[in-house]
Each structure stands twice: as C-alpha cells, then as structure tokens.
Amino acid sequence: MGSRRDFLKKLAVSTVSLPILGYSGNIENYFSTYENAPLLRVAIMGLGNYGTRVANAMESCKRAKLVGVISGTPSKIVAWQSKYGIPDKNCYNYENFDNIKNNPDIDAVYVITPNGLHHNHVIRVAKAGKHVICEKPMAINAREGEEMVKVCKDEGVKLLVGYRMHFEPRTLEVVDMRRNGELGKIMFFQGLSGFRIGNPNQWRLDKELAGGGAMMDIGIYSINGARYMVGEEPIWVTAQETKTDPVKFKEGVDETIQFQMGFPNGAVASCLSTYSMNNLDRFYLNGDKGFAEMQPSTGYGPIQGRTNKGPLTAPIVTHQTVQMDAMAGIILNGEKPPIPVDGEEGLKDLKIIDAIYKAVKTDGSVKV
C-alpha cells in the first residue's frame, strides 16, 4: 500500500496530461509515455462547445490527431480549418459525410451531436467503414443502442463511448482501492449529478433532440458511476420525479429524478439527477472497511476527494487528452481499458435509463 501511495504522490506533482497504456489492474503500471505508437486519425462530428473542448485537448495527444471535421455550419468549418490545419478534402457536412468511406486519411469519427441524432450518425459512420466514438448517452433508448452495436459489429468497426471518467486518474485510484479490497464489502453508493440549466430554447430541453431531460445529460454520470464504483450491475431500480417548472420542462423532459438501485451482493445506491440545483457533482462510496468521497466527481476537473486513508493524490490531467490517447490504443492495438468503454458498456447504461423512466411512470420497482 505504501509504495502505491508514494508513487501517486510523486505523480501528483505534475499537472500535465499523461498518456495511458492498457490497464493491467495496477495503477502504477497504467501511466507511461508512448514511443513510436501508431496514430489514430480522427474527424470530429459536431463543432459545438464540447467538440471544441475535445479538439483543444487533442492538441496534446500522443496517439490521436484531429484531421477532419463534419458540421452543418460552414463558418465553423472554416474556423477549424484555420486553427487546426485541416485540409479541404477532410471537411464534410451532414448531407455528404457518407463519402468519408472513400477517404483513407480518416480512421475514426467522434460523434458529438445531440443525443437524438447519435443513432443515425453512428450507423452512417459505421456503414462508411470508419470506427466510431460516440458521446454519452450512446442513444436515447436501449432499442436504438442495440441496433448501433449490431451494425458496428456487422461492419467490422469498433464502437466506443466517450466515458472520459473511465480514464481519470483519481477515479481509477478509488476503483483500484475497491478492486484491491481496501474498502471491504461495498454497502452503499451515493451519486449527485446536476446543475441549473440556462437557455430554455437549447437542444437539451428538446425531447426529440435530447431524448429526455437531466437524466439523459447529467444523470448518466451517477448511473455509470454507480456501476464502476460498486463494481456490479444493478438488478432493480426505483425512481421518483419532481417537476417544479412544467413550462421550461415540458412533457418528456425531466427536471429532477431521484432514483435508487440494488446490486446482487446487497449494495444499494441512492442518486439524484437534476437541472434545477447547483453545487452537486458528488460521489460517496461506503464499504465495511472504508469509504471514498469525491467532489467534484465528474466535472472537467480537477477531481477532488478523499478516502478513509487520506486525500486522493493521483495526478490531475486533461480528461479528453487522456481519453483520446487511450482510445487510440483500444482501436489500433486492442488495448484493454481500466473500465470498459465499448458499445456494450453504453448499452448497459441505456437499459438502466429505460428502467428508471419506467419506474417513474409505474411508481414501482423495475428489474434491469
């Protein structure tokens, strides 16, 4: 235990992004530099705020490079070409991006469009023969997710989901402690995910584009976090919805949902997803030998937290840089991530979301 803590404290001195190799079950072996690694050439689809964040982070990548763009806004394409040196032949719009099939200079497309468009966009990219990284949630329901997984498999391309927290060092520090038995038998998880949403006309409050409300945007962090923190898959959910502003949060667009999950070994989770409260973003994991609490737990950083043995000390990194380098290794070399990020992983979250929405409507317990 002491050697691991000493290692993490040394790493914490650095604030630069560190590239990542395949996870071997021990966090000391997870951080390394890349030499002579193949390069994943990526086109970003959707040049909004998060697409811009990913593009900026990729400038520090060792194994992934931004080489193309797909957008419906010509002015954005021109601006990105100027900033990132993207050639005309690697620029597409939403009508013609199927032609990416004939472009050997692009290996993968990162789909960062509204949730309701993921299904169509991912399938088109897969049928064009390119690997796909899709932002979470992967789709708006499990039925769509199943079709996306099947099409990618049939087309022989990989489908990954943008779970950046699966590569975040302090998150992995806690997961490593749980896997090593340092927290003992896991009994309880709490996940609080939310913020006060602004512009009432944005796509996140449009049911057709978002697929729902807060649950489809921020609530998925507590769903996914419960799974990788507890280390099991839930077998039942219950849920209750609160709506204080039916004008802003129209039918099918959830404002606040409290939900609970039960796990096979007896652990329970209590979570909150909301668009009406700030200062949340908190995870708490309790075992019979110790605990871990994180706040912020899923924000862009820095992630902060402590356990019964002291503060988290793993290095602070740029999440998207680490994510994209790791995903390059998964796609090009078949490397194993510390926590799965494939389409099947995304589908598990969608099945839970479906169950939560059903539990809200039925006011009962729903099996997952």
Q: Could you give the CA distance from residue 66 to residue 84 in angstroms, rounded to a whole number?
A: 8
Beta partners for residue 83, in sequence order: none
Through-space distance between the first and last CA atoms of the chain, rounded to whole angstroms: 36
Catalytic, 221? Answer: yes
Q: Cα(70)–Cα(132) distance, rounded to whole angstroms? A: 13
Burial status of residue 179 (CB atoms within 10 A of its CB: 0-12, 13-18, 19 or more): middle
Burial class (CB in 10 A: 0-12, 13-18, 19+), 235: exposed
Catalytic hit among 23, 92, 110, 136? 136
One of 221, 228, 275, 357 is an active-site residue; which one? 221
Give me the count of residues in the chain.
Answer: 368
Please indicate whether residue 248 is annotated as part of the active site.
no
Hunting for tokens 């994943």 — which residue is that?
40
For residues 289 and 341, give the distance between their C-alpha atoms in angstroms, rounded to a whole number. 29
Q: Strand 256-262's sheet: what is its strand order? A: 310-311, 305-307, 291-294, 282-287, 186-194, 268-274, 256-262, 236-242, 366-367
Q: Which residues are catalytic?
A: 136, 221
